[in-house]
């Protein structure tokens, strides 16, 4: 009886020893939004049997390894008007799995966001700072959002931020010095970005000199040499605007 038991035990050892030569019988890799899980099934490790001389270990184990980098954290995202630009600033941390950012913009008259720029990620595990200047200034509200794109192609959007450029439909003119001898400086607050025509009109209502000026929305400074004008009183106006004309005194 003992001989038969030993023979049976030896056969079991042979079977399980063969299985242990290839401990992983099945497995794979599962990928999700925040990382991957690699898994395997088939290593015999669970229960142990012994008769004093021989030992058999059998069962099922599922070892696993988790690779799960923490997702990027967008600490802040802001937009502010500065001069003739909109400055977009954002701060992040833990960019280990981030490839790049895409800025998107939507004007108040548009129905959807459009691509503005691509910015490569710095891939810092600590805090990273970014800034982008948008040179397009449009009256009214402009919306911005930030798209973060991971190495695996997954993406996330930030909250939407906006700037509101308040303007009036009336262009305004300021002139210095006044009276003027040779050159006057005009500060023209344009209600939109386009080319305007400025005119100097004499006391009889005749246009004596005119000038085409390409202006951006907001304040523009224009230098105008009027040394050739005769001494007298003139009126400066911007054609096609509702702004008030300005009286100019030309001295010799």
Of residues 108 and 92, more confidently modeled: 92
Q: Quick one: how many helices (H) and strands (E) in the chain?
A: 1, 20
Of the candidates 195, 210, 72, 79, the one whose C-alpha atom is nearest the C-alpha of residue 133 is 79
Q: Tokens 């003119």 belong to which residue? A: 173
User: Does residue 218 carry a pLDDT above 70?
Assistant: yes
Closest CA to 80 of 71, 89, 93, 69: 89
Helix H, strand E, coil C: the string for 21-33 is CCCCCEEEEEEEC
Interacting residues of 203 by C-beta distance below 8 A, sequence separation 6+: 232, 233, 234
Cα angle at 194 between 104 and 197, to 5 degrees? 170
Q: How do residues 121-142 score in pLDDT, each as one tens digit?
A: 998 778 999 999 998 877 788 9
C-beta separation of 222 from 188 below 8 A: yes
The DSSP output letter for 61 is B
For the segment 23-34, the average pLDDT, to the nearest whole number, is 51
Tokens of 24: 């992983």
Compute the distance between CA of residue 45 and CA of residue 127 in angstroms, rounded to an integer. Answer: 45
For each of the domains in the chain, give its residue range(s) and CATH number, in order of start.
2-67 (no CATH), 73-165 (2.60.40.10), 172-250 (2.60.40.3080)
Give residue 167's pLDDT band: very low, low, confident or very high (50, 70, 90).
low
Q: Cα–Cα distances in Å, from 204 out to 11, 207, 208, 209, 248?
A: 123, 9, 10, 14, 14
Helix (H) or strand (E) holding 62: none
Q: In a 3-state reduction of DSSP, which class is residue 227?
A: coil
The pLDDT of residue 25: 47
**Residue 6's Cα: distance from chain center in Å?**
73
3-23 confidence digits (pLDDT tens) = 555 455 455 445 444 444 444
Residue 179's pLDDT band (boundaries 50, 70, 90)? very high
Q: Which of 242, 85, 229 is nearest to 163 (CA)?
A: 85
Q: Which pLDDT tens digit goes with each residue over 60-78?
A: 444 444 444 557 788 999 9
Q: Is 182's pLDDT higher than 50? A: yes
Cα distance between residue 223 and residue 213, in whole Å? 10
State if pTM tops 0.95. Answer: no
**Structure-block tokens of residue 229:** 């004008």
């Amino acid at each position: 009886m003992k001989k038969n038991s030993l023979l049976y035990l030896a056969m079991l050892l042979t079977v399980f020893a063969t299985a242990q030569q290839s401990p992983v019988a099945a497995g794979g890799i599962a990928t999700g939004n925040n990382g991957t899980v690699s898994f395997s099934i088939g290593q015999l490790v669970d229960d142990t049997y012994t008769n004093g001389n021989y030992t058999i270990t059998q069962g099922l184990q599922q070892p696993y390894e988790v690779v799960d980098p923490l997702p990027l954290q967008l600490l802040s995202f802001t937009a502010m008007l500065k001069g003739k630009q909109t400055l977009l600033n954002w701060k992040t941390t833990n960019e280990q799995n981030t490839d790049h950012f895409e800025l998107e913009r939507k004007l108040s008259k548009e129905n959807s966001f459009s691509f503005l720029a691509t910015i490569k990620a710095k891939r810092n595990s600590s805090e990273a700072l970014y800034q982008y200047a948008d040179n397009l200034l449009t009256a009214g509200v402009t919306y911005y959002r930030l798209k973060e794109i991971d190495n695996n192609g997954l993406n996330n959007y930030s909250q939407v931020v906006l700037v509101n450029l308040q303007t009036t439909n009336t262009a305004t003119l300021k002139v210095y010095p006044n009276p003027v001898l040779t050159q006057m400086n005009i500060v023209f607050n344009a209600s939109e970005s386009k080319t305007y025509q400025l005119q100097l009109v004499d006391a009889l209502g005749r246009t004596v000199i005119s000038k085409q000026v390409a202006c951006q929305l907001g304040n523009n400074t224009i230098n105008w040499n009027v040394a050739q004008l005769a001494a007298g009183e003139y009126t400066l106006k911007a054609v096609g605007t509702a702004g008030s004309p300005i009286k100019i005194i030309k001295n010799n």
